[in-house]
């Protein structure tokens, strides 16, 4: 009897462990079945001048090899911007240089090597060195420049020990580490190159340098009213690209958690020659393959994958949200992946599933919905950028804690909180109402949201652009 009881307990405990493992890894399991889903075979048509923007050396190859090879074969012009030199990767410094406690000089050494690796890799794909531009901004700090270190009076200090680019090959020598200067550099190149197409990181990429690069690009396009075809590529998202192995006979598919969003994914078939060139280009990133394989090799597939997004307009709610229309705001929304990390799974009150915005007769609304009821101990941030005519951009960073709202002053162009601002909470939905004159002269609104518990970010929604329709 004792032995039978032990067997029963063993079976029960094993079943529970396997069940929990399957539950918390359900999205990885789902990715096994992604190849069975219908794929978008719609052809991609790009213009004559293509600009590719990479947060780090290697991203342009992982996400843009097909685009580069096709464009050059057709006689089109390619220009590549590399935002950072990848000089903030501590593990790469330790593994490549045998340093246990890296100093700023070690990070700068890595940056110079990765710069050369990038030139070699893009050279394999056929890109001329003069068409690869390095900004030299701090690796691991692009989100800091976007969110906090915006002004020239509040520079970011990189792991390379500098508040300005220390590299002689930087597009702007001694470029100050602040968001305003990133905008200046991107604007300058786009004005000069006049791209017909821009390929840049996807807004749902989880790496902070990637989603922040996406935000900067969209900001510059909206601020200057640039018209171009926009395409995105994904590098960091959970277990993507699944499986993490060299699998040249498999296709590259988007992660299951991004399946039901508004992204249109385009499958770009690689010939055997194109696939071989991409593989040879990836091998040039010696410092990274030493610490990141088989991740890098997992991008060597039968296809590349890029996304595109539809244009969205700010909807109008007749009568506003005060006349029984509270839930109406969430009928038009941007969906977010749900319970896709352990933290969002455990903290459902901070797991953002929808982000909404609309205008009423007298108010402008921004809303956020979580998977489980909102909590007073979680901080809910709604971040808004308003693009007015004549390149005038204002920002408002709203922070709601204990269901009380404040406006953070994070830059010179930050707006004060209007006295008539209100917060309405209902279950798992939150709406901030701002006076309608907030939108006076505004052509586009750029917004996002994030949640924080005890100084730790639980979730962050993708930055999205909406065009304002006049009433």
**How confident is the model at residue 331, as a pLDDT?**
82
**How confident is the model at residue 300, as a pLDDT?**
97
Kindly state whether residue 435 falls inside one of the protein's structural domains: yes
Are 276 and 130 part of one and the same domain? Answer: yes
Q: Radius of gyration of the chain from Cα atoms?
A: 23
Are 246 and 347 part of one and the same domain? Answer: no
Q: What percent of the chain has pLDDT over 90?
A: 83
pLDDT average, residue stretch 75-95: 97
**How confident is the model at residue 36, as a pLDDT?**
43
Are 303 and 383 part of one and the same domain? Answer: no
Kindly state whether residue 155 falls inside one of the protein's structural domains: yes
CB atoms within 10 A of CB 437: 12
Kindly state whether residue 38 falls inside one of the protein's structural domains: no
Kindly state whether residue 15 falls inside one of the protein's structural domains: no
**How confident is the model at residue 34, as a pLDDT?**
53
* Position 319 confidence tier, pLDDT thresholds 50, 70, 90: confident
**How confident is the model at residue 75, as a pLDDT?**
97
| Domain range enclosing 428 | 326-467
Tell which residue, 200, 302, 306, has the closest CA to residue 252: 302
Q: Does residue 463 contact residue 211 with C-beta atoms inside 8 Å?
A: yes
* Position 16 confidence tier, pLDDT thresholds 50, 70, 90: low
**How confident is the model at residue 284, as a pLDDT?**
98
Tell which residue, 371, 373, 383, 447, has the closest CA to residue 403: 373
**How confident is the model at residue 6, as a pLDDT?**
56
Indicate the burial class of 440 (C-beta count within 10 angstroms; 0-12, 13-18, 19 or more).
exposed
- pLDDT above 50 (res 455): yes
Are 167 and 273 part of one and the same domain? Answer: yes
Are 247 and 290 part of one and the same domain? Answer: yes
**How confident is the model at residue 246, as a pLDDT?**
95
- pLDDT above 90 (res 98): yes
Tell which residue, 90, 132, 82, has the closest CA to residue 109: 90
**How confident is the model at residue 24, as a pLDDT?**
46
**Cα–Cα distance, 30 to 339 (Å, whole number):** 14
Q: What is the pTM of this model?
A: 0.92
Indicate the burial class of 225 (C-beta count within 10 angstroms; 0-12, 13-18, 19 or more).
exposed
**Cα–Cα distance, 76 to 47 (Å, whole number):** 8
- pLDDT above 70 (res 332): yes
- pLDDT above 50 (res 72): yes
Q: What is the domain-level CATH number for residue 372? A: 2.60.40.10
Kindly state whether residue 110 falls inside one of the protein's structural domains: yes
Are 90 and 211 part of one and the same domain? Answer: yes
Q: What is the domain-level CATH number for residue 217? A: 3.40.50.10320
DSSP secondary structure string for all residues of 360-388: -SSEEEEEEEESS---TTSEEEEEEEEEE
- Mean pLDDT is lowest, of 193-197, 201-205, 318-322, 428-432, for 318-322
Are 274 and 345 part of one and the same domain? Answer: no
Are 280 and 339 part of one and the same domain? Answer: no
- pLDDT above 80 (res 39): no
In order of 69, 144, 224, 233, the CA distances from 271 in angstroms are 11, 40, 38, 19
Are 113 and 145 part of one and the same domain? Answer: yes
**How confident is the model at residue 446, as a pLDDT?**
96
pLDDT average, residue stretch 373-389: 96
**Sheet order of strands, 77-84 included:** 132-137, 77-84, 49-54, 197-201, 229-233, 303-308, 264-269
- Each residue of 395-427: pLDDT tens digit? 999 999 999 999 999 999 999 999 999 999 999
Kindly state whether residue 344 falls inside one of the protein's structural domains: yes
Number of domains in the chain: 2
**How confident is the model at residue 320, as a pLDDT?**
77
Are 280 and 400 part of one and the same domain? Answer: no
Are 382 and 459 part of one and the same domain? Answer: yes
Kindly state whether residue 365 falls inside one of the protein's structural domains: yes
**How confident is the model at residue 333, as a pLDDT?**
85
CB atoms within 10 A of CB 32: 11
Whether residue 357 is preceded by a cis peptide bond, meaning omega within 30 degrees of 0, is no
**How confident is the model at residue 5, as a pLDDT?**
60
Mean pLDDT of the chain: 91
Kindly state whether residue 33 falls inside one of the protein's structural domains: no
């Amino acid at each position: 009897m004792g032995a039978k009881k032990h067997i029963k307990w063993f079976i029960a405990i094993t079943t529970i462990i396997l069940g929990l493992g399957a539950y918390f890894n359900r999205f990885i399991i789902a990715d096994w079945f992604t190849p069975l889903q219908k794929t978008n075979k719609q052809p991609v048509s790009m213009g004559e001048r293509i600009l590719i923007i990479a947060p780090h050396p290697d991203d342009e190859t992982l996400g843009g090899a097909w685009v580069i090879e096709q464009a050059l074969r057709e006689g089109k012009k390619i220009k590549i911007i590399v935002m950072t030199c990848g000089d903030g990767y501590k593990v790469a410094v330790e593994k490549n240089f045998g340093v246990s406690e890296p100093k700023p000089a070690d990070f700068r050494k890595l940056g110079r090597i990765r710069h050369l690796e990038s030139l070699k890799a893009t050279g394999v794909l056929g890109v001329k060195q003069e068409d690869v531009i390095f900004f030299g901004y701090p690796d691991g700090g692009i989100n800091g420049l976007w969110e906090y270190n915006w002004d020239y009076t509040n520079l970011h200090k990189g792991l390379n020990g500098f508040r300005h680019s220390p590299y002689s090959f930087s597009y702007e020598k001694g470029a100050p580490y602040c968001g305003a200067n990133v905008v200046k550099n991107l604007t300058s190149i786009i004005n000069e190159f006049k791209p017909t197409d821009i390929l840049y990181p996807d807004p749902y990429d989880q790496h902070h340098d990637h989603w922040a690069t996406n935000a900067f690009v969209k900001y510059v396009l909206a601020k200057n009213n640039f018209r171009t075809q926009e395409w995105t590529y994904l590098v960091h998202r959970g277990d993507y690209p699944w499986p993490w192995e060299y699998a040249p006979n498999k296709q590259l598919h988007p992660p299951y958690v991004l399946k039901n969003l508004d992204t249109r994914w385009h499958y770009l078939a690689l010939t055997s020659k194109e696939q071989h060139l991409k593989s040879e280009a990836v091998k040039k990133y010696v410092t990274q393959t030493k610490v990141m394989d088989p991740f890098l090799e997992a991008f060597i597939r039968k296809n590349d994958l890029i996304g595109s997004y539809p244009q969205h307009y700010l909807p109008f709610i007749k009568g506003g949200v005060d006349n029984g229309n509270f839930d109406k705001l969430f009928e038009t929304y941007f969906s977010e992946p749900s319970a896709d990390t352990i933290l969002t799974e455990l903290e459902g009150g901070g797991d953002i599933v929808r982000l909404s915005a609309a205008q009423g007769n007298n108010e402008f609304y921004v809303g956020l919905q979580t998977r489980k009821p909102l909590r007073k101990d979680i901080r809910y941030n709604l971040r808004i950028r308003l693009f007015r005519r004549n390149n005038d951009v204002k920002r408002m960073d709203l922070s709601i804690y204990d269901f009380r709202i404040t406006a953070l002053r994070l830059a010179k162009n930050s707006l004060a909180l209007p006295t008539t601002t209100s917060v309405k909470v209902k279950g798992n939905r939150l709406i901030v109402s701002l006076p309608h004159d907030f939108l006076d002269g505004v052509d586009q609104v750029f917004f996002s949201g994030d949640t924080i518990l005890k100084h730790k970010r639980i979730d962050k929604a993708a930055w999205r652009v909406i065009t304002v329709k006049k009433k």
